[in-house]
Amino acid sequence: MDPSPLFYQAGPALPEISHAQGVYLWDDTGRQYLDGCSGAISCNLGHGRDDIRDAMLAQLDRVAFTYRTQFENAPAVALAKALVGLTHGQLEKVFFVSSGSEAVESALKLARQYFVARGEPQRRRFVSLRPSYHGSTLGALGVTGYHPLEAPFTDITIGSLKVAGPDFYRHTDADDTRHVARVLADTRTAIEAAGPDTIAAFVLEPVGGASTGARMLDRAYLEGIRALCDEYGCLLILDEVLTGIGRTGAWFAYQHYGVTPDLLATAKGLGAGYYPVGALLARADIVETVMASGGFQHGHTYAGNPLACATGLAVVEAMQREGVLSNVAARGRELEAGLKALQARFPWVGDVRGMGLLWGVELVADPVTKAPFPAEHNYFARIAALAKEEGLLIYPRRTLDGLAGDHFLVTPPLIIDAADTAELLDRLERAMVRFDREVAASAPASALTP
């Protein structure tokens, strides 16, 4: 067979996909896989849905593409109204894009232009967490805190001020309350040193994604960051590219905490894997200030096109019609219980964390010291490979700034039922039994004893 002309990241040869239905996919040899990570945490409604296909076909029969400066289109207006409704009117304006990186990039540019329009051009810096992930375009990469992704491009990106967020698994403070207080104090010190009047916005994920293995924040921390932004006059941007559109059991993860952002980026689940669509949501006064200064100097060819927005609207309407958020809550409880049972069984499972159907499992060499496995073992990739051999797809990454540590995400489609959740856990258990044998075979006799 001739080699493929395609190139992505380096890695082993991949099976060719044949078809998919519900939470399952099949390769061209007939092998079945349970989609335990919704592709790239995107296929929130599963695969092969007739209602989404029908909505897309109906729009194709009318018009697939119009350019946003030439025509308005009804699907874009309807989807924008729906998204505003999902925020209960807290964010009143919507700008459509095609991906998460574009949504974050748009948020950064809108924040910057807002302060230029206000006569505060010195506000050109952003604050973000390390580790974090906000996208692969140069602006979004600049606020990303994940060393391997940043390293080749540090001299051509405008890096943000990176600060540490809470780590409720690894911290050594007296308790979580003191930990959050210390992290907020350190953040204040860093911003004061950089110059508060140079900061345009603070960018963070309300629940960590692939860069941290679903590392959690809490209400006290988010309220503290909101208060710092208000004190220093900068904006709060929440990156809900991964957590938005129901993944955590609320339409947006910030709604669990009662802390409202000024700008919000979302994508992934908005198109549910059926068509690329993302959105920037914003406070009306921010948009009005920018529009009064001559308009938002930004845009993409496919932004807000009818086919993308018809797909997103069909996704939101299906979730509302079927009560998907209730299913996320129920299946999330089952998944949490199953993952914590596996944690109790295998000492190298250091932490299980998450909410809804967004769960991270962190692997450690020593459950007492929480020391990671040696990076050269690449255990994050190994356990994902074993899971795939057992017919389960999970999402692996390194935990500690991309340089060390191992974790994987379990993020199945939001429509998964109880039987398939149990099947997911069974397949994961089989992979973990095999992984346990390999770890035991390579570990010193004193390591990983219960």
Residue 223, domain CATH: 3.40.640.10
Say if residue 25 is in the same domain as residue 61. Answer: no
Would 11 be classed as within a structural domain? Answer: no
Say if residue 105 is in the same domain as residue 209. Answer: yes
Say if residue 305 is in the same domain as residue 428. Answer: no
Q: Residue 448: its pLDDT value, please? A: 53
Cα–Cα distances in Å, from 147 out to 92, 140, 151, 216, 403?
Answer: 35, 14, 6, 20, 7
What is the distance between the alpha carbons of residues 135 and 285, in angstroms, rounded to a whole number?
26
Q: Residue 3: its pLDDT value, please? A: 74
β-pair partners for 25? 20, 33
Cα–Cα distances in Å, from 4 out to 7, 27, 30, 214?
Answer: 8, 17, 21, 34
Residue-wise pLDDT tens digits, 301-333: 999 999 999 999 999 999 999 999 999 999 999
**Domain finish residue from 269, 292, 322:** 322
Total structural domains in the chain?
A: 2
Would 5 be classed as within a structural domain? Answer: no
Q: Residue 446: its pLDDT value, please? A: 46
Q: What are phi and psi of 138, to 5 degrees?
A: -65, -40
Say if residue 257 is in the same domain as residue 365. Answer: no
Say if residue 316 is in the same domain as residue 327. Answer: no
Would 425 be classed as within a structural domain? Answer: yes
Say if residue 261 is in the same domain as residue 353. Answer: no
**Domain finish residue from 269, 302, 322:** 322
Say if residue 129 is in the same domain as residue 104. Answer: yes
Would 2 be classed as within a structural domain? Answer: no
Would 7 be classed as within a structural domain? Answer: no
Say if residue 231 is in the same domain as residue 207. Answer: yes
**Domain finish residue from 322, 350, 379:** 322
Helix (H, G, I), strand (E, B) or coil at 168: coil
Q: Residue 1: its pLDDT value, please? A: 52
Would 368 be classed as within a structural domain? Answer: yes
Say if residue 335 is in the same domain as residue 285. Answer: no
**CB under 8 Å to 428, separation ≥6 — which residues?**
36, 342, 387, 390, 392, 394, 410
Domain of residue 383, residue span:
17-47+323-442
Would 180 be classed as within a structural domain? Answer: yes
Q: Residue 13: its pLDDT value, please? A: 83
C-alpha 345: how far from its chain's center? 28
Would 39 be classed as within a structural domain? Answer: yes
Say if residue 144 is in the same domain as residue 228. Answer: yes
**For position 363, which CATH number holds?**
3.90.1150.10
Residue-wise pLDDT tens digits, 164-189: 999 999 999 999 999 999 999 999 99
200 touches 112 (CB < 8 A): yes
**CB under 8 Å to 330, separation ≥6 — which residues?**
418
Give the 3-state secondary structure of 306-321: HHHHHHHHHHHHHHHH
Q: Residue 445: its pLDDT value, please? A: 47
Q: Residue 191: its pLDDT value, please? A: 98
Say if residue 242 is in the same domain as residue 98. Answer: yes
Give the residue ranges of the chain where pLDDT is below 50. 445-446, 450
Cα–Cα distances in Å, from 215 out to 160, 263, 351, 432?
Answer: 20, 22, 10, 21
Say if residue 297 is in the same domain as residue 362. Answer: no
